[in-house]
Amino acid sequence: MALSNTQYNEIMHEYEIIQQENRADLEKRREYVYEHVPGYKELADSISKISVEFEISRLNGKKTDSAFLHDKLEDIRARQRILLHDAGLSENYLLPKYNCPDCKDTGYIGNKKCHCFNQRVVSMLYAQSHLQVLTRENNFKKLTEAYYTGEHLDHFRKAKQISINFIKNFDSTYQNLLFHGTVGTGKSFLSICIAKEVLDRGHSVVYYSSCDLFRKLTDFYYDFNKKTELANLCENIYNCELLIIDDLGTEISNAFVLAQLFTICNERELLKRSTIISTNLSLKEIQNRYHDRIFSRLAKNFQLLRLSGPDIRMQMAKKQN
């Protein structure tokens, strides 16, 4: 599973809070009934008394009749239900309520995680990925061939098919993609489409524009008070199951940034964590801008996918006018 221990504990803590709230809520309803439904509390007390007496007899080795006890308790409970009903309340008024009845707000059914737990994981992963907003507009449902023709369409179809395979094999295969090509040819769009599918399958994804990522790393690195933030950021970008660096080449270029980019590639390769990079730079420009040791890593470990054609945003703007 894609969660860190801290994230797991955070989710389990949410369940504890829900349980506490629901228990407090039940306690309030019980107090209300004890106060407003005459005779109800006496019946509840008699259930406790009879049960305790039965247990003491059993422990003392006396002969006990559990079927008789069962019938007796059932009889009392039926009388309680009638009292609730006569007071205009639901018969279930004093049953515990759960946000998720399937796991009774424990997160687990037996030793398997409940669907509500998995849902929380996905929500948490979305929040961590910075992709909550972007995936609303950039997803496979909105992907269209309409803006591509000729060889551009061929490039797009190939990239799309490889993206689909990337998702299909994500659980079993270490794979990296590098989308390159001119501005507005759908590189970021495809990266985010993939991110959405991978997130929805419960994997951790972290998305950064190159510019933001290296600015943040630089800020944290040179600020002594940000050591924890730096450690958390590095932990996230080295370990997340899918890292997306959008718009490589828009970051400031200096020795620190180059070293960081190399470290990211290296760490992720060692951990066999997949990465997607998109860039408006051509392969030649990548080679010129980054050291050979970075370029050779990209060339060796990444599937290079070229997208081409006229700027889609311009085409869309023209259409709207």
Can you tell me which of 89, 114, 121, 276 binds Zn ion, judged by CB under 5 A?
Answer: 114
Tell me if 103 contacts Zn ion by CB under 5 A: yes
Classify burial at 35, counting beta carbons within 10 Å of its beta carbon; exposed 0-12, middle 13-18, buried 19 or more: exposed
| Max Cα–Cα distance, the chain, nearest Å | 91
The minimum distance between CB 125 and Zn ion, in angstroms, equals 18
The minimum distance between CB 9 and Zn ion, in angstroms, equals 18
Specify which residues 278 forms β-bridges with.
179
Interface segment toward Zn ion; rule CB under 5 A; list 106-114, 147-155, 161-169, 198-206: 106-114
Tell me if 47 contacts Zn ion by CB under 5 A: no
Can you tell me which of 69, 100, 153, 258 binds Zn ion, judged by CB under 5 A?
Answer: 100
Tell me if 44 contacts Zn ion by CB under 5 A: no
The minimum distance between CB 3 and Zn ion, in angstroms, equals 16
| Residue 251 · residue 257 · CB < 8 Å | yes
The minimum distance between CB 191 and Zn ion, in angstroms, equals 32
The minimum distance between CB 121 and Zn ion, in angstroms, equals 12
Amino acid in position 123: S
Tell me if 116 contacts Zn ion by CB under 5 A: yes
The minimum distance between CB 109 and Zn ion, in angstroms, equals 7
Interface segment toward Zn ion; rule CB under 5 A; list 110-118, 183-191, 247-255, 279-287: 110-118
Interface segment toward Zn ion; rule CB under 5 A; list 72-80, 101-109, 139-147, 313-321: 101-109
The number of residues in the chain equals: 321
Tell me if 211 contacts Zn ion by CB under 5 A: no
DSSP per-residue letters across 94-160: TS---SSTTTTTSSEETTEEPHHHHHHHHHHHHHHHT-TTHHHHSSGGG--STT--HHHHHHHHHHH
The tokens of 195 are what?
């991110």
Q: What distance in Å separates the CA atoms of residue 287 and residue 306, rounded to the nearest whole number?
A: 16
Considering CB under 5 A, how many residues would be counted as binding Zn ion?
A: 5
Report CA-CA distances (Å) from 283 to 2, 156, 163, 279, 289: 33, 18, 20, 9, 10
Interface segment toward Zn ion; rule CB under 5 A; list 7-15, 44-52, 87-95, 98-106: 98-106
Can you tell me which of 71, 102, 151, 219 binds Zn ion, judged by CB under 5 A?
Answer: 102
The minimum distance between CB 11 and Zn ion, in angstroms, equals 11
Contacts of 138 (CB under 8 A, 6+ apart): 188, 189, 192, 193, 196
Output DSSP code: residue 4.
-
Nearer to Zn ion, 16 or 102 (CB): 102
Pairing of strands 177-181, 274-279: parallel
> 3-class SS at 298?
helix
Tell me if 11 contacts Zn ion by CB under 5 A: no
Tell me if 205 contacts Zn ion by CB under 5 A: no
Tell me if 16 contacts Zn ion by CB under 5 A: no
The minimum distance between CB 135 and Zn ion, in angstroms, equals 24
Q: By the criterion CB under 5 A, which residues form the site for Zn ion?
A: 100, 102-103, 114, 116
